């Protein structure tokens, strides 16, 4: 009788142990989820980052560095004018983070993004054809009616900054075209379709053998700020927050400054 009782106790113990195994596993999963939500370590994810066109070159480099440091994470960038990026976020396009070329555009997304962090600053330059064949040496030269000048549209951050600096000097410039982003302005000058344009210093630096950059004095210039934020609708909020935080680290800042961006 005692042997039968002992056998039953052993069987009951085995059943209990079997039931506890899956419960334990579930507990571990919840712990992992909690660690992901807490952001204690950057979780693996495929991230989509919407970024201003002027960040194209440096972010492609930064993304490669980040992926190397965070195995299992992929960063996919979509570059466009900041106003286009904002429209995408409002329309619910799949995105995990957004980086604009001005605070005004980011401020318009308060309902859609977490608190932003400025990661870099920039300034404008006059860009001309290689060798500056038209001898453009200051902002006033852009008012010459014989000069083909291209600017970004006023709703684009670089277009707004351009209008700001020209208005401050009371200069009226008749643009032959208004482009949707800064890279389009640069391209027009590179291709010889325009004699001059206003772009960010960092954009002119990407084509040193195709264009010349004419500095604008600080007193006449505008400072562009680049805020970065996670998108609230992201399916990877912890991973997105980790990437945005990384953009302010010494390593990321070194890449940005090597590309000509200024400290935040």
Q: Is residue 35 part of a domain?
A: no
pLDDT of residue 92: 95
Tens of pLDDT, residue by residue over 177-221, are 999 999 999 999 999 999 999 999 999 999 999 999 999 999 999
Contact indicator for 99, 49 with CB cutoff of 8 Å: yes
pLDDT of residue 44: 85
Q: Are residues 117 and 229 in the same domain?
A: yes
- Identify the bridge partners of residue 123 per DSSP, sorted by sequence position: 223
pLDDT of residue 240: 97
Total count of domains within the chain: 2
Q: Is residue 55 part of a domain?
A: yes
Mean of pLDDT over the chain: 88
Query: What are the Cα distances from residue 29, in Å, to 18, 50, 214?
Result: 18, 31, 58
Q: Are residues 188 and 144 in the same domain?
A: yes
pLDDT of residue 164: 97
Asked if residue 133 has pLDDT above 60, the reply is: yes
Q: Is residue 187 part of a domain?
A: yes
Q: Are residues 149 and 90 in the same domain?
A: no
Q: Which domain holds residue 133?
A: 122-223
Asked if residue 234 has pLDDT above 90, the reply is: yes
Q: Is residue 32 part of a domain?
A: no
Q: Are residues 135 and 107 in the same domain?
A: no
What is the domain-level CATH number for residue 80? 3.40.190.10
Confidence of residue 42 (pLDDT cuts 50, 70, 90): low
Q: Please give the backbone phi and psi of residue 121, each rounded to the nearest 5 degrees, phi first.
A: -135, 165
Q: Are residues 138 and 214 in the same domain?
A: yes
Q: Are residues 90 and 171 in the same domain?
A: no
Q: Are residues 155 and 191 in the same domain?
A: yes
pLDDT of residue 43: 78
């Amino acid at each position: 009788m005692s042997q039968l009782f002992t056998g039953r106790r052993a069987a009951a113990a085995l059943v209990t142990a079997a039931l506890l195994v899956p419960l334990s596993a579930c507990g571990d999963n919840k712990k992992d989820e909690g660690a992901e939500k807490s952001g204690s370590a950057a979780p693996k994810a495929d991230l989509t980052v919407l970024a201003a066109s002027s960040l194209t070159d440096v972010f492609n480099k930064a993304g490669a560095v980040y992926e190397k440091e965070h195995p299992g994470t992929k960063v996919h960038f979509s570059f466009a004018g900041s106003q286009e990026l904002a429209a995408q976020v409002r329309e619910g396009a799949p995105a995990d983070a957004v980086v604009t070329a001005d605070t005004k555009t980011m401020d318009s997304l308060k309902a859609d993004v977490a608190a932003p962090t400025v990661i870099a600053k920039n300034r404008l330059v006059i860009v001309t054809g290689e060798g500056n064949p038209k001898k453009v040496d200051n902002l006033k030269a852009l008012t010459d009616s014989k000069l083909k000048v291209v600017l970004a549209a006023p709703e684009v951050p670089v277009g707004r900054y351009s209008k700001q600096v020209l208005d401050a000097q009371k200069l009226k410039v008749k643009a032959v075209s208004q482009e949707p982003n800064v890279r389009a302005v640069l391209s027009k000058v590179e291709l010889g379709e325009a004699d001059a344009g206003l772009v960010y210093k960092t954009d002119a630096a990407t084509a040193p053998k195709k264009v010349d950059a004419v500095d604008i004095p600080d007193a006449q210039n505008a400072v562009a700020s680049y805020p970065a934020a996670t998108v609230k609708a992201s399916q990877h909020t912890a991973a997105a927050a980790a990437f945005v935080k990384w953009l302010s680290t010494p390593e990321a800042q070194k890449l940005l400054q090597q590309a000509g961006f200024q400290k935040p």
